[in-house]
């Protein structure tokens, strides 16, 4: 046993397991408070509702109010994309509302209303996911259908209600057009600002926080690029402002890749300088989003640990690339907006028709998600009707809203939040109805509270339901008879719908199995093999590598965020950490084409081992391939893919051992190097989760075992004797 004094290897980071806790229920989701959107929705809704109410009564006002909900498309969505989607959302709202009104006028049976609502839910959720029209997503159209189906109307009223709903949708579209023209490209600037803010966090992240910071930085970078693409039109793509946003995204990609591959020996003062520069860039981009004058650029300070450069001035390592990217971003903001020209990056976001066609061909995840949501809504409505509850549509609404969560833990949290918020909101509703408010008061409260609930919808469902319930529920009360049975019905249907959603997730949620997770790892390794030294431009290769790492990280996070996380995700987590490290190393410094063929065989063998769950074949990379950090990450990935598999049996060609600290704790995923009698490196192995290792000597004689816990701990060495014929002894310390 080799004893080391020091910390465990820096790659040993605990997986982000999801747990259902009270803190998770009460926690606020990250993101800004959308008070600007709240005021816009509240003001527009109040104006439209009051206009319809004064002109033709409460039902007409409600129809116009529901039609104007297309103004609820989130303001963080690029203006050009919102202008494309607002008419589509308006048409969908008109169809949803008129379907509900028609079923009410024709006195359709409850089962018919439930079946139509489930079909509408499936289609709307699928289209919203395909067209990237969320938030608020398909839940909005289910709410419109359910509200209208409970309003008593006659067949003769349907034409006028169609006109009022269309008028409301037109008003929402006009308000949205005016608002998007006023804000310009603020959504794009905010998205790029968030990317630089996450870059600042990544620069100074240490230890177990580094993996999460890497994943967050890639996610925000992808969101920024997506926002810039969605905000592009034929006219804006030729503008200098749009080209500057594209350049800032490219600088951010270079900086994120370099920051994720920074050496651990980088001086803290240098990290603080880069952190301040990235933070200042994010603040200036946020100012540009508000159309405020840009603050002066702080004076540039000399790095206390300057990175080397080549003769041509191009950066040669991650530190130099990060410094150059931050400098380019700062200069881009200091330079006046350039004149329009043909864009360098010709990638375009697909049109709505192209997105629909692509979704119809094969968005399997979108179909699974939509079918699961529609099935949960159907089950919730059917059970509510069979239980004797008078408004099964409320159970369908509860199920549809709870299933907006991306994981099973999130679904359980949203279910508890919705029940808790509904209970609090019913108390406020009872107090309001006890005052017997006039219809005008009910109309104003409904319009204002629906708008003011917008910031809470993205932060916590309990807060949102506390505000929404007293705003929407009085619209269903006609002022005759007791209102307490209606409140009881709302509470019971909400609980039933939330329970149906949670049970649907537990029954139909596709839990990532070992083959699926290993398939993601294999796909990412092949992407790294192809793009690390591929034929494409460096910026395209870098984006492809980072995207492959992000997709694999999303698969692992979904698995680990499950109520019952599979053991395969826990066992393969070290392999993902090594893959992430290798991906950042290759993205930070793309390789020349000559290095591709030399490493392709070893990388492809690693991908094959990951896909089939077999031990990786022996064989390393060329000694001068890439950087030492990249080669180290490759060796850790090869060792981690074999973790959990049976170690080779004892024979005359293996050295077995176990690595422990001075306290007796095993050191997982720590390198152990074997030096032969000639002084050359004979083999390198990484310990498994129990600290065990296996080395392959190539000759007899006295060999040296060298182990290092991390860069801050001195290596520990031990001599072992490899005999000619006899069995090899364990590599144990004396």
Amino acid 733: pLDDT: 35
Report the chain (734 residues): mean pLDDT per 10 consecutive residues.
36 67 81 80 90 92 94 80 88 96 95 96 90 80 93 94 96 88 82 95 88 93 89 72 88 94 87 95 89 56 45 60 93 76 58 73 73 93 94 94 85 93 95 90 89 84 92 82 90 96 81 77 88 69 87 87 75 88 86 68 87 78 76 84 52 70 75 80 73 78 75 66 54 35
Let me know the angle formed at the C-alpha of 226 by 221 and 227, rounded to the nearest 5 degrees: 100
- Do both 386 and 471 map to the same domain? yes
Task: Please count the CA atoms within 13 angstroms of the CA of 632 that sit on its side-chain side.
Answer: 19
Amino acid 651: pLDDT: 47
Residue whose entry in the numeric block shows the structure tokens 């002109």: 55
- Asked if the structure places residue 271 within a domain, the reply is yes
- Do both 597 and 688 map to the same domain? no
- Asked if the structure places residue 214 within a domain, the reply is yes
In which domain, by residue range, is 469 found?
31-183+352-508
- Asked if the structure places residue 631 within a domain, the reply is yes
- Do both 153 and 222 map to the same domain? no
- Asked if the structure places residue 20 within a domain, the reply is no
- Do both 174 and 39 map to the same domain? yes
- Do both 519 and 630 map to the same domain? yes
Which residue, 177, 179, 226, 219, is CA-closest to 199? 219
- 646's CB contacts (< 8 A; 6+ apart) are none
- 541's CB contacts (< 8 A; 6+ apart) are 531, 532, 534, 587, 590
- Asked if the structure places residue 600 within a domain, the reply is yes
Domain boundary among 308, 334, 360: 334
**Bridging pattern class, strands 2-4 and 655-661:** parallel
Which residue, 44, 75, 58, is CA-closest to 170? 44
pLDDT digits (tens, 9 = 90+) for 412-455: 999 999 999 999 999 999 999 999 888 889 988 988 898 888 88
Edge to edge, the sheet with strand 681-686 lists 681-686, 671-675, 701-707, 716-722
Task: Find how far residue 542's CA is from the centre of its chain.
Answer: 19
Question: Using the 8-state DSSP alphabet, how is residue 672 labeled?
Answer: E
User: The dihedral of CA 621, 625, 628, 629: what is its sign?
Assistant: negative
Domain boundary among 453, 479, 508: 508
CA dist., res. 391 & res. 380, Å (int): 11
Q: What is the DSSP string of 119-168?
A: HHHHHHHHHHHHHT-TTTTTHHHHHHHHHHHTS---GGGHHHHHHHHHHH
Look up the CATH number of the domain holding residue 668: 2.60.40.10
pTM of whole model > 0.75? yes
- Do both 407 and 310 map to the same domain? no
Residue whose entry in the numeric block shows the structure tokens 């230890």: 207
- Do both 660 and 702 map to the same domain? yes
Amino acid 307: pLDDT: 45
- Do both 327 and 207 map to the same domain? yes
Q: What is the DSSP string of 601-666?
A: HHHHHHHHHHHHT-PPPS----TTSS-HHHHHHHHHHHHHHTTTSPPPPP-TT-EEEEEEETTS-B
- Asked if the structure places residue 619 within a domain, the reply is yes
Q: What is the 3-state secondary structure (H, E, C) of 355-395?
A: HHHHHHHHCHHHHHHHHHHHHHHHHHHHHHHHCCCCCHHHH
- Asked if the structure places residue 25 within a domain, the reply is no
Instruction: State how many domains the chain has.
Output: 4
- Asked if the structure places residue 707 within a domain, the reply is yes
**Residue 31 Rama label (left phi>0; alpha psi -120 to 50; beta):** left
- Do both 37 and 135 map to the same domain? yes
CA dist., res. 221 & res. 223, Å (int): 5
- Do both 361 and 492 map to the same domain? yes
Q: Which two tokens stand for residue 9?
A: 């290897």
Question: Using the 8-state DSSP alphabet, how is residue 315 labeled?
Answer: B
CA dist., res. 376 & res. 500, Å (int): 6
Amino acid 729: pLDDT: 40
**Residue 433 Rama label (left phi>0; alpha psi -120 to 50; beta):** alpha
CA dist., res. 406 & res. 558, Å (int): 8
- Do both 372 and 464 map to the same domain? yes
Which residue, 390, 404, 486, 377, is CA-closest to 114? 377
Amino acid 306: pLDDT: 45
- Do both 38 and 178 map to the same domain? yes
């Amino acid at each position: 046993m080799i004893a080391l004094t020091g910390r465990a290897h820096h790659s040993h980071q605990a997986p982000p397991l999801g747990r259902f806790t009270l803190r998770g229920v009460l926690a606020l989701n990250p993101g800004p408070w959308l008070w600007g959107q709240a005021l816009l929705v509240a003001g527009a809704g109040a104006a439209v509702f009051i206009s319809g109410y004064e002109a033709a009564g409460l039902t007409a006002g409600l129809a116009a109010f529901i039609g104007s909900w297309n103004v609820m498309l989130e303001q963080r969505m690029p203006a050009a994309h919102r202008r494309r989607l607002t008419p589509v959302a308006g048409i969908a709202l008109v169809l949803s509302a008129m379907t509900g009104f028609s079923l009410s006028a024709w006195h359709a049976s409850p089962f018919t209303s439930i079946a139509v609502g489930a079909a509408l839910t499936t289609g709307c959720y699928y289209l919203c996911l395909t067209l990237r029209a969320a938030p608020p997503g398909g839940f909005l159209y289910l709410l419109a259908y359910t509200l209208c189906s409970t309003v008593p109307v006659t067949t003769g009223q349907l034409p006028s209600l169609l006109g009022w709903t269309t008028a409301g949708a037109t008003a929402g579209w006009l308000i949205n057009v005016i608002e998007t023209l006023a804000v310009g490209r603020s959504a794009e600037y905010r998205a790029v600002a968030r990317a630089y803010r996450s870059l600042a966090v990544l620069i100074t992240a240490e230890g177990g926080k580094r993996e999460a910071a890497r994943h967050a930085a890639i996610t925000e970078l992808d969101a920024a690029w997506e926002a810039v693409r969605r905000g592009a039109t034929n006219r804006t793509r030729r503008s200098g402002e749009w080209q500057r946003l594209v350049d800032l995204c490219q600088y951010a990609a270079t900086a994120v890749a370099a920051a994720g591959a920074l050496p651990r020996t980088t001086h803290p003062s240098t990290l603080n300088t880069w952190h301040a520069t990235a933070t200042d860039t994010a603040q200036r981009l946020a100012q540009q989003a508000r159309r405020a004058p840009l603050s002066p650029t702080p004076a540039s300070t000399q790095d206390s640990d300057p990175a080397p450069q080549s003769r041509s001035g191009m950066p040669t390592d991650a530190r130099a690339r990060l410094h150059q990217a931050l400098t380019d971003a700062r200069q881009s903001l200091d330079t006046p907006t350039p004149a329009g020209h043909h864009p360098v990056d010709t990638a375009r976001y697909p049109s709505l028709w192209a997105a629909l066609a692509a979704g119809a061909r094969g968005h399997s995840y979108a179909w699974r998600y939509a079918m699961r949501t529609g099935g949960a809504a159907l089950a919730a409505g059917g059970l509510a009707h069979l239980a004797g509850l008078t408004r099964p549509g409320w159970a369908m609404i509860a199920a549809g809203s709870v299933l907006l969560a991306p994981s099973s833990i999130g679904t359980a949290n949203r279910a508890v939040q919705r029940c808790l918020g509904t209970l609090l909101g019913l108390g406020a509703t009872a107090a309001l109805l006890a005052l017997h408010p006039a219809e005008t008061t009910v109309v104003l409260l409904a319009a204002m509270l629906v708008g003011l609930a917008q910031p809470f919808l993205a932060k916590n469902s309990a807060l949102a339901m506390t505000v929404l319930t007293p705003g929407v529920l009085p619209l269903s009360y006609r002022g005759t008879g007791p209102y307490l049975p209606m409140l009881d019905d709302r509470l019971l249907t909400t609980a039933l719908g939330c329970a149906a959603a949670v049970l649907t997730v537990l029954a139909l949620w596709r839990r990532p199995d070992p083959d699926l997770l290993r398939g993601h790892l294999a796909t990412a390794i092949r992407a790294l093999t192809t793009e690390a030294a591929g034929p494409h431009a460096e910026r395209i290769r870098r984006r492809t590598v980072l995207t492959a790492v992000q997709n694999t990280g999303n698969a692992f996070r979904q698995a680990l965020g499950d109520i019952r996380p599979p053991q395969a995700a826990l066992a393969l987590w070290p392999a993902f950490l090594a893959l992430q490290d290798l991906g950042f190393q290759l993205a930070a410094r793309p390789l020349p084409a000559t290095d591709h063929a030399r490493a392709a065989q070893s990388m492809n063998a690693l991908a094959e081992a990951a896909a089939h769950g077999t031990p990786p074949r022996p064989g390393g990379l060329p000694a001068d391939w890439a950087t030492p950090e990249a080669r180290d990450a490759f060796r850790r990935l090869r060792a981690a893919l074999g973790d959990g598999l049976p170690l080779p049996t004892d024979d005359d060609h293996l050295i077995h051992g176990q690595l422990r600290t001075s306290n007796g704790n095993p050191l997982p995923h720590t390198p152990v190097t074997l030096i032969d009698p000639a002084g050359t490196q004979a083999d390198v192995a990484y310990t498994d989760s129990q600290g065990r290792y296996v080395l392959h000597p190539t000759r007899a004689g006295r060999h040296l075992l060298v182990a290092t816990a991390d860069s801050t701990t001195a290596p520990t060495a031990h001599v072992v004797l490899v005999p000619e014929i006899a069995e090899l002894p364990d590599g144990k310390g004396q």
